[in-house]
Structure 1
């Protein structure tokens, strides 16, 4: 089975904010396809839930932001840190980048 993987795909759970008419209009306006986890299946979203849990506790909840630019900068900085410096036990204490680029 071949899947169309062009464009932007946004994955979420089935929370009320993601099923609202206004949200769907926003996605359509921004030419974004929506993907939802199956009802009652938390494992569909486990990797993102884990990432956002770390993001909130290690970055977002530690600071008070004054502008949208401050938030954007913090998000970009944290994602770079997460991918290149933050070691993960499940990846043999390597960062995701180190794990993906190690020689087999």
Structure 2
């Protein structure tokens, strides 16, 4: 698994770096002063917040976790994207 992020303090703390290593997560950070490297993730976060997070009520943290996992799976495996010629991200990645 790859985590794309900027170089914010929450992503560069030793606790977070070690968490990623312990959980086999590869960190991929944009270059300092180059927001274009992070544009795809910023676009995803915008879609995630406007289409899911801001319009969903959660009764517990566990419910939020489960629904977030379901949303991300739907986003990657079911939802066609116009940018990808109306393929899902996974279809576009492996075509």
TM-score scaled to structure 1, two decimals?
A: 0.67
What is the aligned-residue RMSD (CA, Å)?
2.7
Which residue of 36, 46, 69 corresponds with 2:62? 69
Tell me, in whole angstroms, the C-alpha distance in 1 between the residues paired with 2:25 and 2:88: 30
Unpaired runs of at least 5, structure 2: none
Which whole-Å CA distance do the structure 2 matches of 1:97 and 1:31 have between them? 20
**For residue 28 of structure 2, what is the aligned residue in structure 1?**
35
Q: In the superposition, relative to structure 1, how do residues 33 and 99 fare at CA in structure 2: closer, same or farther (>3 Å)?
A: closer
Structure 1: gaps spanning 5 or more residues: 1-7
Is 1:52 the counterpart of 2:45 in the alignment? Answer: yes
Whose Rg is larger? Answer: 1
CA deviation after TM superposition for structure 1 residue 70, in Å? 0.7
Normalised TM-score (structure 2): 0.71
